Structure 1
Amino acid sequence: MRRYGSAVLLLLTGGAVLRISLFSELYLRYVQAALRPYLVISGSLLIVLGLVAAVRGMRKTPEAEEHEHDDHEHEDDHDDHGHSHTGGPRIAWLLTLPALALLLFPPPALGSYSASREEAQRAAQGVGSFPALPAGKVLDISVAQYSSRAIYDTGHSLKGRTLRMTGFVTHGSDGTWYLTRLLVTCCAADATISKVEIRGDASDGAPQTDTWVTVTGTWVPKGKLGTDAAWPPVLESTSVKQVKQPADPYDKR
């Protein structure tokens, strides 16, 4: 099996990358959609390299492999005064475990645990007027967009509008609960948090942590614009509906 070690590792890693990027949308748990072509190309190259390594391994004769093994043992004995390093190849097989884990058990997207480890951030910008919102009876808006307009918009573009947002549930220490979303620039490693406090009759009996919900409601003015008193923004809910986690769980900056 020694001759096929590199081939197995390359094939497993390439297969795992292609599984999450080419044959599913699981890659969206980790990176932005724009990076999908690069993942597919990388996974394909790893598969090709693995096949090349496997073919080279099959062409290697048992005599050549035994001679190579003897040479390695002689070098180890000479360099390390007789200490055995036969465990090295066995330990190298442990490198296959991360690839197997990604192939068989892809990690979930970041959620409430990550949100609890970092304070929600508000964008660093000054107060001012924002572009007009699209017309419509109910306006779909992201958590980040709502937060920015609620805290900084001197034109009060949210006033009088019925708004609808989707995110996962997090809870505060004082019994409040928040509609939360993670924002990414490139990948999950650079994620930051945006959240909106949910109030109103529809918010009674708060959903469990990490539950994905769509909340409909209206803007509640809070504090002086652009100050900590305006944070976090508040939504008066008229409807809270549990939904499935979207394929792409992150908002984009």
Structure 2
Amino acid sequence: MRRRYGSALLLVLVGAAILRISAFSELYLRYVQAGLRPYLVVSGAALVLLGVAMAVVRRTEHADKGAHGHAHHGPRTAWLLALPALALLFFPPPALGSYSAEREAAQRAAQGVGTFPALPAGDPVELTVGEFSSRAIYDSGRSLKGRTVKLTGFVTHGDDGTWYVTRLLVSCCAADASAGKVEIRGADALPADTWVTVTGTWHPKGGLGTDAAWPPVLDATTVTRVKEPADPYEKR
């Protein structure tokens, strides 16, 4: 029985795992961008339906052949494919965190010095880590000067006691993620991977567009713990 329906069961397991993270939750945002959700739902449903159809076909073939029929079965090692499917179904891995960010210490949030559009009126102005970094390092108009900004991200630590608000930036999915981070001064560090919202003012350093300007610095006035957002990544 197990060998007869093994392939069908594997297809159903994989499809159910995909549906579990995409159709019935927002866990898929840990791995891919929001725009890919419909494709995941369709793929998961197709795999489940294909698995059910295969099981029906196998049952019919077995009934036709009777007890003396000999079915061809795949290698038993194929059952190893069930392990990642079961893990995704019951224990979805978390989003990338501080370990991945620390591997991207030399990433830049943008390329090229130039002027940026004016920031919205009113303080604090909420920016992504990537937006703040771009303006701090490359904006010849110094649009951050005199403004209070609000950044949200997770905590990472430096080797010299410094700490950062960090976000991972993706183009398509978690596999292409790179890190953007902002050094925080004037506030005690929290444990790594703690999600926080930091309000403060830009602290200029280094020459415009130079390595010395990275990572940018924020002088903190408040640091508040927050819940990890459903979509933990910023879009490039």
TM over 0.5: yes
* Identity across the alignment (%): 70
2:70 to 58, 68, 71: 68
Question: C-alpha root-mean-square deviation of aligned residues, in Å?
Answer: 1.5
What SS does the aligned partner of 2:117 have?
coil
Asked if the contact 1:121/1:192 (under 8 Å) is kept, the reply is yes
Alpha-carbon distance between aligned partners in 1 of 2:142 and 2:68, rounded to the nearest angstrom: 78
2:162 to 171, 176, 201: 176
Asked if the contact 1:14/1:44 (under 8 Å) is kept, the reply is yes
Q: What displacement does 1:33 show?
A: 0.2
Alpha-carbon distance between aligned partners in 2 of 1:230 and 1:18, rounded to the nearest angstrom: 44
Matches within 5 A, 1:73-222: 89-123=75-109, 125-200=111-186, 203-204=187-188, 206-222=189-205
Q: What displacement does 1:223 show?
A: 1.1
Question: Residue 77 of structure 1 corresponds to which residue in structure 2?
Answer: none
Q: State the number of aligned residues.
A: 234
Alpha-carbon distance between aligned partners in 1 of 2:129 and 2:142, rounded to the nearest angstrom: 16
What SS does the aligned partner of 1:55 have?
helix
Q: Which moved more, 1:118-127 or 1:94-103?
A: 118-127
1:51-86 CA distances to partner (integer Å, 9 max, x unpaired)? 1011112223364574324xx6xxxxxxxxxxxxx9
1:91 to 1:66, Cα distance in 2 relative to 1, 3 A:
farther
Question: Residue 49 of structure 2 corresponds to which residue in structure 1?
Answer: 48
Alpha-carbon distance between aligned partners in 1 of 2:228 and 2:164, rounded to the nearest angstrom: 16
Q: What displacement does 1:19 show?
A: 0.4
1:137 to 1:118, Cα distance in 2 relative to 1, 3 A:
closer
1:66 to 1:236, Cα distance in 2 relative to 1, 3 A:
farther
Q: What displacement does 1:183 show?
A: 0.1
More helix, by proportion: 1
Question: Residue 216 of structure 2 corresponds to which residue in structure 1?
Answer: 233
Q: Which has the larger radius of gyration?
A: 1
Asked if the contact 1:198/1:237 (under 8 Å) is kept, the reply is yes
Asked if the contact 2:109/2:131 (under 8 Å) is kept, the reply is no
Q: Which runs of 5+ in 1 are unaligned?
A: 73-85
1:244 to 1:2, Cα distance in 2 relative to 1, 3 A:
same
1:201-238 CA distances to partner (integer Å, 9 max, x unpaired)? xx12x100010000000011111100111111000000
1:134 to 1:65, Cα distance in 2 relative to 1, 3 A:
farther
1:229 to 1:3, Cα distance in 2 relative to 1, 3 A:
same
Question: What letter is aligned with 1:146?
Answer: F
1:236 to 1:61, Cα distance in 2 relative to 1, 3 A:
same
TM-score (norm 2): 0.95
What SS does the aligned partner of 1:186 have?
coil
1:131-157 CA distances to partner (integer Å, 9 max, x unpaired)? 001112211100000000000111111
Q: Which moved more, 1:60-69 or 1:171-180?
A: 60-69
Asked if the contact 1:198/1:236 (under 8 Å) is kept, the reply is yes
Asked if the contact 2:14/2:47 (under 8 Å) is kept, the reply is yes
What SS does the aligned partner of 1:175 have?
coil
Asked if the contact 1:120/1:194 (under 8 Å) is kept, the reply is no
Q: Which runs of 5+ in 2 are unaligned?
A: none
